[in-house]
Amino acid sequence: MLFQTEYLHDIFYDAYDLPLERKIEILNRARELSYEVRVDKHIDSVRRKVDMSYEGVMEKLDDECHFVVIHRRGYTRDGDREYGEIGFCTMRGNDYFLWINLALPDLNTLINEFNLKPK
């Protein structure tokens, strides 16, 4: 097993204040490029995977949701050191979370297509 000796900080992209329509475009494109799409719900103080469709969780997306585009660099994921994470959290009581994970080349494609800039 390869151990990482230097922690690399994640890169967050300036996407939180984008118009809702643009966020939907980014999420749909990320889904096309993804290797994993997951929906979690905050249950008993823990995030737990739930059986909900992409379309079902997308109905919960609105301007109040916390939206993120992240280049994860400090962790190992599926044999890759770095990967992309795009998603949102509903930020209301029984929070729902959408996680879309992409390989690094696909994250770079998304960043370039939508002209996203690091914060």
Q: What is the pLDDT along the chain (119 residues), one digit of tens a residue?
A: 455 456 678 999 999 899 999 999 999 999 999 999 999 998 878 889 999 999 999 999 999 999 999 999 875 555 557 899 999 999 887 799 999 999 999 999 999 999 999 99
User: How many distinct structural domains can be found in the chain?
Assistant: 1
Rounded to 10 degrees, what is the CA torsion of 3, 10, 91, 116?
Answer: -140
Is residue 3 in some structural domain? no
Q: Write down the pTM of the prediction.
A: 0.88
Is residue 1 in some structural domain? no
What is the per-residue pLDDT for 4?
47
CA distance 69 to 15: 7
CA distance 76 to 92: 31
Domain of residue 73 covers: 11-113
What is the per-residue pLDDT for 91?
84
